[in-house]
């Protein structure tokens, strides 16, 4: 498995639905570099049960992300047309109507592979036949990308396990607090609590090199 921390987020160009209604053919995270932080999250599939609760949870907290200068972007292996159809479906009927942040189509599954969140794999059997193993959808991966385009935090959940959106916000707060104050954030830190001065050699060395 790849370790992404401190590395540039894998680049992609893919179709996406923005503002809940408009398909753009060439969506990329590069538009945010130097301007915004990004929370990129993957979910398994459109028209499923757990996924809409997550997508709506991110939407409900979107003002919290926006006031922290964070762009929220969703992604699954469905087509942009599937995204668009799901966006037309009412929330009470299991749809995601009302979602305004971009939802990327990873129809080729290459984005999920590059971010190492694809639950399936491809191989060749003894007869030379291409076969798929596992489930060719994305795990519930979440990546916090800083304004330089580097990944500073990520978490990957198995398919049945929904995420905590408040925890994603807490990680944004921790990163921004460190960037602004040079203080490191201890366990269970949340915005408004005291952080710690970086005094031990390991952290001081880290700070001087970053």
Is 75 catalytic? The answer is: no
Q: How far apart are CA 44 and CA 78, in angstroms?
A: 9
Catalytic residue among 17, 51, 87, 137: 51
With beta carbons less than 8 A apart as the criterion, state whether 4 and 139 touch: no
Q: Which residue has the tokens 């398994």?
A: 44
Distance of CA 18 to the CA centre of its chain: 16
Q: From 11, 17, 40, 9, select the one nearest 103 (Cα to Cα).
A: 17
Total length of the chain: 210
With a CB cutoff of 8 Å and minimum separation 6, the contacts of 160 are 50
Catalytic residues: 51
């Amino acid at each position: 498995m790849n370790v992404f921390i401190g590395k540039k987020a894998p680049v992609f160009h893919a179709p996406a639905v923005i503002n809940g209604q408009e398909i753009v053919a060439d969506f990329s995270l590069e538009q945010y570099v130097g301007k915004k932080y990004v929370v990129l999250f993957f979910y398994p599939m459109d028209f499923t049960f757990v996924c809409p609760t997550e997508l709506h949870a991110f939407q409900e907290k979107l003002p919290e992300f926006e006031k922290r200068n964070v762009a929220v972007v969703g992604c699954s292996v469905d087509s942009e047309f599937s995204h668009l159809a799901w966006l037309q479906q009412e929330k009470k009927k299991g749809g995601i109507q009302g979602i305004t942040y971009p939802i990327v189509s990873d129809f080729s599954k290459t984005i999920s592979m590059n971010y190492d969140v694809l639950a399936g794999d491809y191989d060749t059997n003894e007869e030379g036949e291409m076969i798929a193993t596992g489930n060719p959808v994305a795990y519930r991966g979440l990546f916090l990308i800083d304004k330089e385009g580097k990944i500073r935090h990520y978490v990957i959940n198995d398919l049945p396990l929904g995420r905590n959106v408040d925890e994603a916000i807490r990680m944004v707060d921790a990163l921004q607090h460190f960037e602004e104050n040079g203080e490191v954030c201890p366990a269970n830190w949340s915005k408004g609590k005291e952080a710690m001065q970086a005094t031990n050699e390991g952290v001081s060395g880290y700070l001087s090199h970053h």
